[in-house]
Amino acid sequence: MTFEDLGALGDLISGFAVIASLIYLAAQIRQNTAMITAQTVQAAVDATQRVLLYRVEDPNLRAILRKARANARLDADELEVLVSYLQASFMNFQARLQHNARGVFDPSVNESYELILKDYLHQGYVRRWWTFAKALYGRAFRDHCDAMIAEIERGGAVPVQDWQELLRTPEGKLP
Q: How many domains does the chain have?
A: 1
Q: Residue 11 falls within a domain, yes or no? A: no
pLDDT reported for residue 140: 95
- Is 55 among the domain residues? yes
User: How many H-runs (helices) and E-runs (strands) does the chain carry?
Assistant: 7, 0
List, for residues 55-69, the tens digit of each pLDDT value: 888 999 999 999 998
Residue 25 lies in a domain: no
Segment 33-38 shows an average pLDDT of 74
**Is pLDDT at 20 greater than 70 in this prediction?**
yes
Number of C-beta neighbours around residue 163 at 10 A: 9
Nearest to 93 by CA among 132, 129, 145: 145
Identify whether 12 is part of a domain. no
- Confirm if 139 and 86 have CB atoms less than 8 A apart: no
Range of the domain at 139: 39-172
Over the stretch 101-156, which tens digit does the pLDDT of each residue have? 888 777 887 888 888 899 899 999 999 999 999 999 999 999 999 999 999 888 87
State pLDDT tens for residues 74-96. Answer: 999 999 999 999 999 999 899 88
- Using CA atoms, how far residue 56 sits from 10, 31, 32, 121, in Å, is 68, 37, 36, 20
Q: Could you tell me if residue 10 is inside a domain?
A: no
The CA–CA distances, whole Å, from 134 to 46, 105, 150 equal 24, 24, 15
Mean predicted confidence (pLDDT) in 14-37: 81
Look at residue 99 and tell me whether its pLDDT is greater than 90. no
Residue at 126 is within a domain: yes
Determine contact, residues 70/94, Cβ cutoff 8 Å.
Answer: no
Mean pLDDT, rounded, for 8-21: 82
Could you tell me if 108 and 41 are in contact, meaning their C-beta atoms sit under 8 angstroms apart? no
Q: Is residue 26 part of a domain?
A: no
Assess if residue 152 is contained within a domain.
Answer: yes
